[in-house]
Structure 1
Amino acid sequence: MKRLNFLEETRYEKLPVKVYTSEMEASTEVAAHISRIIKKNSESGKNTKLGLATGSTPILLYKELVRLHKKEGLSFKNVISFNLDEYYPMSPDASQSYVKFMNEHLFDHVDIPEENIHIPDGTLPKSKIHEYCLSYEQKINELGGLDLQILGIGRTGHIGFNEPGSAPNSGTRLVNLDDLTRRDASREFGGKENVPTKAITMGIGTIFKAKEIILMAWSKKKASIIKKAVEGRVSGSVPATYLQHAENVEIILDKAAASELTRFDTPWLVKDCKWDKELVKKAVIWLSEEVKKPILKLMDEDYNNFGMAQLITEKGPAYDINIKVFNQLQHSITGWPGGKPHADDTQRPERKEPSQKRSLIFAPHPDDDVVSMGGTFIRLIEQGHEVQVAYQTSGNTAVWDRDVLRYVEFAMDFNKSIGMDTDNLEVTYNEMRNFIEKKKPNQVDTQEIQNVKAFIRKSEAIAGARFAGMKDENITFMNLPFYEVGKSVKNPSVEKDIEITRKLLQKIKPQQIFAAGDFADPHGTHIVCFNIILQALKRLRKKEEWTKDCWLWMYRGAWEEFPIHEIEMAVPLSPKEVEQKRLAIFQHQSQKDRPVFPGDDEREFWLRAEERNRETAEAFHRLGLANYEAMEAFVRWKF
């Protein structure tokens, strides 16, 4: 692919970067490029040597290559592939193996000869690994090196499994995996403790020998490490920065992965901007944080000294800009998340009418309502709104096996105490116990175990909602099918889920919806659930008038928080309300003291939510706003 010319706005970028609107568009472009290489080499009677990556990043790329093979006749008969890495130890037929991954996503669907496929062998005894790695390198060298190496990037900055500390001239070898890398893989293995601690990987030196290198990255989760790789100094602590020394490399991103690059995050530092209301707000908040002054104390010289002279020239003086942004922030703060009755609502985030709204809270997991917006939940009920909560999934994958046995043992003892027969229950209990003792990592539970885990989460959700003041009849458990089917089928259809959601919306006809916009969720459940709600609403908006007056608010808190410049409604919490929220979260005992899948954040959910709420309040205070104990933040979705 053609190396980009560096423009003024890309002057912070030390690698050529191409940004696409979506990962599908980017993957299609990379696949077309690979197709051209294969065809050109085939016409000359040459083989094409491809270095291939695994993980979620190249899945759409491989899907498009399969389409090109089946629909447009792209042949892989002259392709020789070398995969970057494999876990060690790892059986090729294990569900987490990269052999299985490559077969499933590419090799089983194209005409590549089996003898042309090379994937590091995770079954070798340790004594033979060194020799094997040398032969892996030798095969690549004998073929004249790779024509193209495809890379993803891990959040440690690893390429392949070259973790921080890897040497730039390293070859294929056995390596130790970083703790963050193992945490990121924990979902596939049923917990971090089951993720191998080692892997066989091509070295950075091996990767550099490729005639061309393409690194791809998608989603906001990769934005931070992409900024370090592209704009940071070369360092062994971020191995991807070594690519800055490569001859022919290109970084392919979607908008989300590129979002923290200077030209997108703080564009005023690299180019003249079109200063709309939202960009002004973002820039002024950034400036306030940079110079550590409240917004109303910013001066013309602060703007000039931090690359914002154009803003002063067009919109200044400083105080005029400051007061407008300050007022925007002040108007986003409300103690009336359902709207304040009989008040002027022109500067408020929510409408005053109707004074008693039908508010529907969607929770992807059974604790997301109280974890992410527990204070607002309580306040909506106290202020007289007709609040309903809908738990979208059972959340039964996030319960420890030991809790299952404990609850069933309780049920047996209780039944015995009231003279009920427990023979059948004891048989089921023994079957559960035997299964759990022999259970393999990430093995799907028996239906009975899944049911008990779902019952545990359901009882906790009811307790949490009741604590917030919710009536039992206003609690709905949707049990969306995609969540259960997804345990055995990848990328299941969500058509049934959309219809279930559409019918619920049609029944309640809410004026106000709250939904999780917390897409950093490592399970991916949040974004699937949000898209289901969107699709259901879009179908209803075509023919039902009530939807035109239905506002959709996104909340966060379980995994991340909205940046301050995006927040459109901030609900302050008093110390007492913070305590009430904490106690509501405590009803979810199966998620204390350590959840099954904690993600990056090892803190308990109540603590991470509480500290995020405090940090949001402190950020508003540093900008010059009132000093609240905590704040829950919301962003309105615009249709």
Structure 2
Amino acid sequence: MARLNLLEETRFEKLPVTVYPNQHIASAKVARIIANLILEKQKAGLPAVLGLATGATPVGVYKELIRLHKEEALSFKNVITFNLDEYYPMKPTSVQSYVAFMNENLFNHIDIDKNNIHIPDGTLALEDIAAFCMAYETKISDLGGLDLQLLGIGRTGHIGFNEPGSAPNSGTRLVTLDDLTRSDASRDFGGKGNVPVKAITMGIGTIFKARQIILMAWSQKKASIIKKAVEGEISAEVPSTYLQLSDHVEFVLDEDAASFLTRFDTPWLVKDCVWDDKLIKKAVIWLANELKKPILKLTEEDYNNNGMAQLAVERGPVYNINIAIFNKLQATITGWPGGKPNEDDSQRPERAVPAKKRSLIFSPHPDDDVISMGGTFIRLVDQGHEVHVAYQTSGNTAVWDDDVLRYVEFSIDFNKSLGKDTSDLERVYKQMTQFLETKQPNEIDTLEIRNVKGYIRKSEAIAGARYAGLKDERIHFMALPFYESGKTTKNSVSDLDINQTIALLQEIKPHQIFAAGDFADPHGTHIVCFKIILEALKRLKETESWVQDCWLWMYRGAWHEFESHEIEMAVPLSPNEVERKRQAIFKHQSQKDKPVFPGDDNREFWVRAAERNRETAKKYDQLGLADYEAMEAFVRYKF
């Protein structure tokens, strides 16, 4: 019976999927599978032939394999590896090369014979690539094929660098990279313009011949493409869907990457559910959106025809369900993000007491505060709360190089106008110019250049916070040490970051905290900054009583908003407040027109924010609630 239930629950899935609570547990499981294969082959006196992947996804697996080697004496002397791909052209000594990646993350830490390592050669002459690819295939075939192939998945659905349009029987070859793939790689190369347009990749046909294929994916950033790969129709537009044809494949996911699969996203479509309040709210909002009807117009027939008959029977009549969910949504809307004084707060998202709160807005980058919650920021100040903003990082990697020269030129001219000696400034300016003329992609800036970039972001943040009505003494610049590496890859978080955060929290003792709750990218600055806040609060909670009464509200960035069923506080904005928020964003001039790291969304930040806030308001309107100009949304984190 349990097996039948599982088959019913996964009936939309066209290949085997295993879901783990997080990527660390999943990575350890995959590493153990690889280790067992190596040991099995050792006993048989045979080599273990592995196909390896690069990128952020397999790093945890490689770390665990290194641990197994160092702590459990797992030997790799019988292992032969073939990497999936390499950029072209690419020197093996380049920090962006997959040779460097594999050495840093695995090969330099284990006892593998270097002659057993095979990675596509990014230094070949163009006319030699075809012969190299044929030889690569022959080497794999002569060894009897791959015993196990590790895969990640790109947001285009590519495996290896087999981009949309790749054939299912393709072999190792030179390919042109998709524009989205190059955008995703832009941070590693110091800008999309520096990302190679081509790569050498193992083909889908070659991957298919492996006796075992494991595709791994972590974070909600991959959830959308995972749903297409697992539940979608086989299509050249999503090359990973070809894996549905293999009898030897398994997808290994963390809960976030699996979150859009039917059994997790809309479980009522595949099984009977335990209907708690949270799931009922999600299901009713989903039904209203599916049928494009206001919540109060949903009927029993709508429930029965869309997989929600169980809910109608157990909790009906359905009109009572509709009213309950409508009221819950209505209660999330408030024009008083700091709580409305002298009012019953039992149906409001924030407490009425104290009437004037100390509110601390944590901004990971110097512009996240006004982009993500600028309207609420201004509202809190207007309503008389003691608002503080803390900029957690300097944001100095996200400033164009020519802006540095422009500001130093201004400083030289200004000092000359005051009759001051500018010889030191002019000397530094010359050094900066010489460095920038020969600067390589992703090369670490000099300390002076990093400082100027940080000063630019700082001056803009001050201007934005002042525009929101904040006094200078309530503007805090933290420049957390983890960020100050000068590279897009940051240092590890240490007690220095946490203790600095603890000191600020102790100084302010906030009643409410606002922090960026963007967790789609597990390696992004936002989630690192959020974890620092959590750890600081966790330590303070043991000794400081005020922490018990401190509420933590999460906001989202300029790209994505919380889903309607997740929102716990929605702050409506008038047309005038939308304009004020826009003007606060405009103070960040170095990020206007085109930021250094725009992601795959080319809209300006103020446009992204405006359209996102309008879309949130529109969703509430479509569900049958009031039609506001815009809304900023928040979810409370219970820590």
String of CA shifts for 1:300-323, please: whole Å, max 9, x gaps. 000011110000000111100000
Superposed, which structure 2 residues align to 1:41-120 within 5 Å?
41-120=41-120
Distance in structure 1 (CA, Å) of the matches to 2:422 and 2:57: 50
How far 1:485 sits from its partner (Å)?
Answer: 2.9
Q: Partner letter of residue 16 of structure 1?
A: P
- Give 3-state SS (helix, strand or coil) of 1:352's partner: coil
- Contact 2:30-2:61 at 8 Å conserved across structures: yes
CA–CA separation in structure 1 for the residues paired with 2:486 and 2:553:
27
Cα deviation, 1:296-349, whole Å, max 9, x if unaligned, reads 000000001111000000011110000000000000000000000000000000
Deviations 1:594-618 (A, max 9, x none): 0000112111000000000000000
1:6 Cα deviation from its structure 2 partner: 6.0
The Cα of 1:64 is off from its aligned counterpart by 0.4
Q: What is the CA deviation profile of residues 67-107 of structure 1, one whole-angstrom value per residue up to 9, with x for unaligned ones?
A: 11111111110000000000000110100110011111111
2: distance between equivalents of 1:40 and 1:293? 58
| Distance in structure 1 (CA, Å) of the matches to 2:543 and 2:402 | 49
> What's 1:423 paired with?
423
Q: How far 1:136 moved relative to its partner? A: 0.1
State the secondary structure of the residue aligned to 1:427. Answer: helix
Q: CA deviation at 1:452?
A: 0.5
Query: SS of 1:306's equivalent?
Result: coil
The CA deviation string for residues 162-207 of structure 1, in whole angstroms up to 9 with x for no partner, is: 0000000000000000010001000110000000000000000000
TM-score normalised per structure 2: 0.98
Residue type matched to 1:524 in 2?
G
- For the 8 Å contact 1:521–1:559, the answer to whether it is kept is no
Task: Give the SS at the match of 2:565.
Answer: helix
Q: What SS class does the counterpart of residue 484 from structure 2 fall into?
A: helix
How does 1:404-443 map onto structure 2 within 5 Å?
Answer: 404-443=404-443
Q: What is the rounded CA distance, in whole Å, between the counterparts of 2:389 and 2:173 in structure 1? A: 52
* Map 1:336-347 → 2, pairs under 5 A: 336-347=336-347
Question: 2:32 maps to what in 1?
Answer: 32
Aligned counterparts of 1:269 and 1:530: Cα–Cα separation in 2? 34
Equivalent residue for 2:23?
23
Aligned to 1:203: 203
Q: Does 1:186 align with 2:176?
A: no
SS in 2 for 1:460: helix
Question: Structure 1 residue 521: deviation in Å?
Answer: 5.8
Alignment-derived partner of residue 295 in structure 1: 295
Kept in 2, the 8 Å contact 1:372–1:556? The answer is yes
Which letter does structure 2 place at the counterpart of 1:303? Y
8 A contact 1:4–1:16 mirrored in 2? no
**TM-score (normalised: structure 1):** 0.98
Percent sequence identity is 72
Shift of 1:559: 2.5
Indicate if the aligned counterparts of 1:4 and 1:17 stay in contact, CA closer than 8 A. no
SS in 1 for 2:234: coil
Matches within 5 A, 1:242-261: 242-261=242-261
Once residues 614 and 355 of structure 2 are traced to their aligned partners in structure 1, the CA distance between those partners, rounded to angstroms, is 29
Q: Which AA in structure 1 matches 2:232?
A: G
Structure 2 counterpart of 1:530: 530
| Alignment match, 1:633 | 633
Runs of at least 4 residues off by over 4 Å = 3-6, 488-491
Determine whether 1:580 maps to 2:580. Answer: yes
Shift of 1:486: 6.6
Stretch of structure 1 that moved more, 587-596 or 406-415: 406-415
> What SS does the aligned partner of 2:323 have?
helix
| Change in 2 beyond 3 A, CA 1:300/1:335 | same
Is residue 279 of structure 1 aligned with residue 275 of structure 2?
Answer: no
Q: Distance in 2 between matches of 1:415 and 1:547?
A: 48
Separation in 2, partners of 1:559, 1:420: 46
Which residue matches 2:497? 497
Once the two structures are superposed, what CA deviation does each residue of 1:132-189 show, in whole Å capped at 9, x if it has no partner?
A: 0000000000000000000000000000000000000000000000010001000110
Q: Which amino acid aligns with 1:587?
A: K
Is 1:592 matched with 2:592? yes
The structural deviation recorded for 1:557 is 3.2
Q: 1:144 and 2:144 equivalent?
A: yes
Q: Deviations over 1:331-368 (max 9, x none)?
A: 00000000000000000000000000000000000000
Aligned-residue Cα RMSD (Å) equals 1.3
Task: Indicate the residue corresponding to 2:395 in structure 1.
Answer: 395
Deviations 1:3-61 (A, max 9, x none): 99961000000010000001111111111111111111110111100000000000000
Q: 3-state DSSP class of the match of 1:7?
A: helix
In 2, the alpha carbon distance for the partners of 1:429 and 1:40 equals 62
Which residue identity lines up with residue 637 of structure 1 in the other structure?
Y
Give the unaligned 5+ runs of structure 2: none
Q: Does 1:516 align with 2:516?
A: yes
1:166 aligned counterpart, secondary structure: coil
Partner in structure 2 of residue 349 of structure 1: 349
C-alpha distance after superposition, 1:381-433 (max 9, x if no partner): 01010000000000010000011011111111111112111111111111101
CA positional deviation for 1:111: 0.8
1:332 aligns with 2:339: no
Code of the residue aligned with 1:429 in structure 2: it is Y
- The C-alpha deviation readout for 1:544-573, integer Å capped at 9, x for no partner, is 100000000000132211011000000000
Change in Cα spacing, 1:576 to 1:627, as seen in structure 2 (3 Å) is same
Aligned partners of 1:41 and 1:357: how far apart in 2? 65
Distance of 2:318 and 2:492 partners within structure 1: 53
Q: 1:424 to 1:490 in 2, by over 3 A?
A: closer
The structural deviation recorded for 1:263 is 0.1
